Every structure is written in structure tokens, then in C-alpha cells.
Structure 1
């Protein structure tokens, strides 16, 4: 397959490209050119600005079997993409987010946010918060595109290569004996690993007929109290968890209500997810060892 990847030089985007190359696809990565990669001559490269309509139309001079879009954050970017790639792509895989859901306190299924009837408001990334930008981009793709689209809604993605440092925040605070702000330790949360996210994107784009919105998350969830107990055990130190702390000590996982994804649709379509309770403890131990 001839495949275009927006992004693809770090975290699960890089892992996706590795899998596509391994499977023998003709892969082009389109990035700002600011992050080096080690793909050598196994991929083609295009330096571009995701926000540039002109750059998108240049890429659309060719036809693509699959396009992966990991870096669209606004309805205007989506509108430009729909216009550029009309009749030029077999399947469009848009990386979306758990953040499209406003509801809390239960497992969230795809029907809990309907992009097919969501009112489209135009604007750039600076005009909306992250969740609204993703909601509006989905709305544009599903209401305006003439090509098949799948919007993959991921929860927080974790891995040894996570540049965001969200899990490391908790490890570092426990090791340093610093407070961690969590408003509700009884809230349940889900995740997906960067390897599993890459595996899912590869599968949904090249091996599956699935289209529309789809949740992708590891099986099982953790109560935040359980998650902190895992870190305490691995670190050999007690966590200092408080409901209210200074802003710089607020947990990146500090949700007020249960907030995780129901992955039933993807499982029924044939994808087998890992169990969170198998891989996350290993990742926590890796993080502790890395800091000792």
C-alpha cells in the first residue's frame, strides 16, 4: 500500500511507521522536519506545515491508499484536508481522543459523542481547547469528506518513549516525597500503551474495514488509589496524595470522576487488546529503575 503519515517521528507515530515499513508498505512521512528519525531510506520524507493549505494540496497531487493523521487539532485543518484529498485517498485514519467526550462517571461508548450531527464551527487550533478542536475536526471529517474515515479515540497513551512525562510525574513526586494533587482517588481511569496504539492504527488502516468513530484502549481500568499503590510498592515509598495542592503538583491523571473508554466496538471488529493490569505495572517498574 502507498501510505502517507502526518507525524511519525516520535512516540506511537514512530512506532506506527516502523510497523508499516516492516509490513512492506510504501511509506511517506510528512513533518515539520524538526525531529530526526532513524528510518534511513525505508521511508520517503516531506517537510511541510500541517496548517498550510498549499502544502496539503501539494501532497494531494498523488493518490494514497491510506493516510494517517496524528497531528490535526482544528476544524480548519480538517476542512483543508477534505478539500485537498477529495478522490485522492482510499481510507483516512484520524487520531482523535477520549477528550471528545464531555460525560463522566462511566465507561464511554462511541455513541456518547456523535460527530455526524455536531455543529461545525470553523477556526484554527488557537481558537479552541484540545477537546473541542478534536470534536470539531471529527465533525468535519464525517460530515464533509467524500472518502472513508475512521476516527480512533485514544485515552492517555503511555510508554517507555513517552515524551510527555505524565507517568514520570507521579514516580518523581513519590521518590522525592512531594505532594500529588488528586481530587478523587476512587475515580477509575484507562490507558493504552504506545506499542498497542501503534498496533491498532496499523490494523485499522491496513487490515480492517472498520470506519466511523472507534475507541481504542487496553482492557481493564485502575482506580487512582490502586495506581498510586502500584507506584508506592515499586518505589518503596509512600505517596503523599492530597485533594488540593499547588497547581504544579496537580496530577495529570487527577480526574474528578471515572473517565475511560468502552472498547467493545473494536473488539467485535476483531482487534485483541492487551490487559492494562499486565503491562502497566511493568512500565512503572521500568520508570523506577530508570531513575535509580
Structure 2
């Protein structure tokens, strides 16, 4: 297949490119060029700022694609532009969305809990919305306006050794350095997925005939209390936890007021088998502890 990936030079996007190459597809990546090209001659690279509508349209002129993956769309304006530019140019778009499309209300989230087909569109740029609202608006535009099939893959927090956001690293480093961690609710459960499994599901979403929104998460959820305990066990050190106040540097990037996790039943019914969170999270924690000690 002829595949275009917007983004793709780091974290799970990089692993998606690797998967596509390994499966014999012809891959083009479209990036701003800030992370270089880690794939060499195995891919073609288009260096474009996707927010420059004219430059994006020019870069994609006279092209057609079997699948387009958009890992870097954060607003309705960006979604509308890609719908218009790719009209008649692709057989499918796979959009990287998020758990943040759902409210944090303590209930396990299913796809129908956010319906982009009925959501009122409010156009605007990325900076005009919160991360979650930007993704909700982008989904609404894609599903209502795209002339091609769309899959929106809703990921929870993605974990991995190469996570450039360093959110799990934050907790490991604070515990190792005896620094405080501030949490609003230590009993709140969350769901996670590895960067490798995220890439595998994106690939699956592209090459199988599914459409619509899909939650993609490892099976199971874990409380922040139990996640902290895994780090304590692996490091032999106790965490300093605070529940009120705390400066900005102590605020946990995983801090949520209530349970916030998803069901993956729809995706599993479509034929994808997810890992069990408990099978890999302790190993990942132990690896990071060893690296950062």
C-alpha cells in the first residue's frame, strides 16, 4: 500500500512507520523536519508545517494514498483542511484521538459516551481549545465532512521508554530524588497502552475495514496508589505524596480527580487482541527505575 503518515518521527508514530515498512508498504512521512528523518532511504519525507494550508496543499498535490495516518491534528481548522486537501486522494484516514474526549466522571468510557456525529462544531485554531476539546472538534469535523472513511483511535496515556513527555519518568524521578508528588486522588484508576501496542492498533485500524471511533487501551486499569507502589517496590524508596497545595513542579501529570479509563470491547470485537496492563507495566517501571537510578 501507499501510506502517508503525518508525524511519525518519534514515540508511537515512529513505531507505526517501522511497522508499515516491515510489512512492505511504501511510506511517506510529513513532518516539520525538527526531528530529522530516522528512517533514511526507507521512507520519503515531506517537510511541511501542516498549519500552513497553502504549503500542505502544494505538498500533497498530484498524490493519492491507500491510507493516511494523522497523528498531529489538534483542532477543527486542521481537520477541515485535511478533509478538503485529501478529497479524492485517499481511501481512508486514521486519526489519532484521545481518552480526553471523555469527561472525568469515574465511569468506564465506551465509544458512545462521546458522539462526534452529533457534536456541535466550533471552528478555531489549536490554541483556542483545551487539548480534549480540540480533539472533540477535530473528530466532529472529520466524521461530518470527510469524503472518505475515517477511524478515530482514542488512546489513553501512552507509555514507553522513549516517551518524550516523560510522564511516567516524572514519577520515577521524583521518588528516586525524594521529591514530593502532588495528587488530587490517589485512588483514581486510569488506563494505559504501550507505544508499541498503540502503533499496532493504528496499523490494524488502517488495514482492516473498520470505521468510526475506537477505544484502544490495554486491558485493565490501575490506581495511582498502586502505580506509585510499583515504583516504590522497584526502587526500594518511599514516595512523598501530597494531596493539597504543592508547587507546579510537584503536580503529577497523571493526577485526575476520579477514575478515568476506557473499555476496549468494541476494538476487540473487531478482531484486535490487547495486552493485559498487569503483564507489562511492572516490567516497564522496573526498566525505567534501573535507567534513572
The answer to whether TM tops 0.5 is: yes
Task: Name the SS of the counterpart of 2:92 in structure 1.
Answer: strand
- Give the drift of 1:74: 0.6
Residue aligning to 1:212: 212
Residue aligning to 2:89: 88
Residue aligning to 1:168: 169
Residue aligning to 2:78: 77
Residue aligning to 1:28: 28
Q: What CA distance in whole angstroms lies between the structure 2 residues aligned with 1:60 and 1:74?
A: 22
**Residue 100 of structure 2 contacts residue 132 of structure 2 at CA under 8 Å; is this kept in 1?**
yes
In the superposition, the TM-score normalised over structure 1's length comes to: 0.98
Residue aligning to 2:204: 203
Unaligned runs of 5+ in 1: none
Q: What CA distance in whole angstroms lies between the structure 1 residues aligned with 2:34 and 2:20?
A: 22
**Aligned pairs for 1:117-196 within 5 A:** 117-196=118-197
Residue aligning to 1:280: 281
Q: CA deviation digits over 1:40-79, x for unaligned, max 9?
A: 1111110101112223322142111000000000100111
Root mean square deviation, CA, Å: 0.9
Q: CA deviation digits over 1:210-255, x for unaligned, max 9?
A: 1100000001110111111101000101111110222210111111
Residue aligning to 2:292: 291
**Residue 97 of structure 2 contacts residue 153 of structure 2 at CA under 8 Å; is this kept in 1?**
yes
**Aligned pairs for 1:248-263 within 5 A:** 248-263=249-264
Q: What CA distance in whole angstroms lies between the structure 1 residues aligned with 2:4 and 2:128?
A: 27
In the superposition, the TM-score normalised over structure 2's length comes to: 0.97
Unaligned runs of 5+ in 2: none
**Residue 60 of structure 1 contacts residue 88 of structure 1 at CA under 8 Å; is this kept in 2?**
no
Q: What CA distance in whole angstroms lies between the structure 2 residues aligned with 1:247 and 1:46?
A: 38
Q: CA deviation digits over 1:123-175, x for unaligned, max 9?
A: 11111111111000000000011100000000000101111110011111111
- Give the drift of 1:178: 1.3
Task: Name the SS of the counterpart of 2:91 in structure 1.
Answer: strand
Q: What CA distance in whole angstroms lies between the structure 2 residues aligned with 1:86 and 1:37?
A: 27
